[in-house]
Structure 1
Amino acid sequence: MIKYHPNSELLLQYVQGALPASISVAIASHLELCTHCAEYTATVEGQCAHSAFAEEAMEDMSLVEVKECDEELGDEFANMMADITADDLRDDFSIASSKELRFGDKTITLPRALSHIGMGRFMQAGKLARSRLELDEGSMRTSLLYIAPGGTIPEHTHTGFELTLLLDGSFSDELGTYEAGDFMWLDHRHQHTPYTEEGCLCLAVVNSALHFNKGLSKLLNPIGELIY
Structure 2
Amino acid sequence: MIKHHPSSTLIAAHAAGELSTALSSAISAHCELCDQCQQLRRDAESELAFAIFAEPATPASTTMFAELCHNITELPTAAAEVAQTSRYVCINNHNYRLPNALQHAKLQPWQRFGPISRMRFELEQTDGVRMSLLHMAAGGQIPHHTHQGQEFTLVLAGSFADEDGHYQQGDIILRNGQHQHSPQSDEGCLCLTVVDAPLHFTKGLSQVLNLFGQSLY
Q: TM-score, normalised by structure 2?
A: 0.84
Q: Quote the residue 1:100 is aligned against.
A: 88
1:108-143, Cα deviation, whole Å (9 max, x unpaired): 100010000000000012111101101130311111
| Cα distance in 2, alignment partners of residues 122 and 202 from structure 1 | 14
The runs of 5 or more residues in structure 2 that have no matched partner are: 60-79
1:60-103, Cα deviation, whole Å (9 max, x unpaired): 49xxxxxxxxxxxxxxxxxxxxxxxxxxxxxxx9x995611222
Q: Quote the residue 2:116 is aligned against.
A: 128
Percent identity for Structure 1 against Structure 2: 43
1:142-169, Cα deviation, whole Å (9 max, x unpaired): 1100001000000100011111011000
Flag the structure with larger Rg. Answer: 1
1:14, 1:24 within 8 Å by CA — same for their partners in 2? Answer: yes
How far the C-alpha of 1:220 sits from its partner, in A, is: 1.9
| Cα distance in 1, alignment partners of residues 185 and 123 from structure 2 | 27
| Cα distance in 1, alignment partners of residues 92 and 149 from structure 2 | 33
2:200, 2:210 within 8 Å by CA — same for their partners in 1? Answer: yes
| Cα distance in 2, alignment partners of residues 36 and 187 from structure 1 | 25
The runs of 5 or more residues in structure 1 that have no matched partner are: 62-92
Alignment of structure 1 residues 147-162 onto 2, 5 Å: 147-162=136-151
The DSSP-based 3-state class of the residue aligned with 1:168 is strand
| Cα distance in 2, alignment partners of residues 103 and 215 from structure 1 | 29
Q: Quote the residue 1:18 is aligned against.
A: 18
Paired letter, 1:45: E
Alignment of structure 1 residues 117-196 onto 2, 5 Å: 117-136=105-124, 137-196=126-185
Matched, 1:200 2:212: no
1:150-204, Cα deviation, whole Å (9 max, x unpaired): 0000010001111101100000000100010001111000011000000000000
| Cα distance in 1, alignment partners of residues 211 and 119 from structure 2 | 21
Q: Quote the residue 1:210 is aligned against.
A: 199
How far the C-alpha of 1:17 sits from its partner, in A, is: 0.3
Alignment of structure 1 residues 80-119 onto 2, 5 Å: 99-119=87-107
Q: TM-score, normalised by structure 1?
A: 0.80
Q: Quote the residue 2:77 is aligned against.
A: none
| Cα distance in 1, alignment partners of residues 4 and 132 from structure 2 | 20
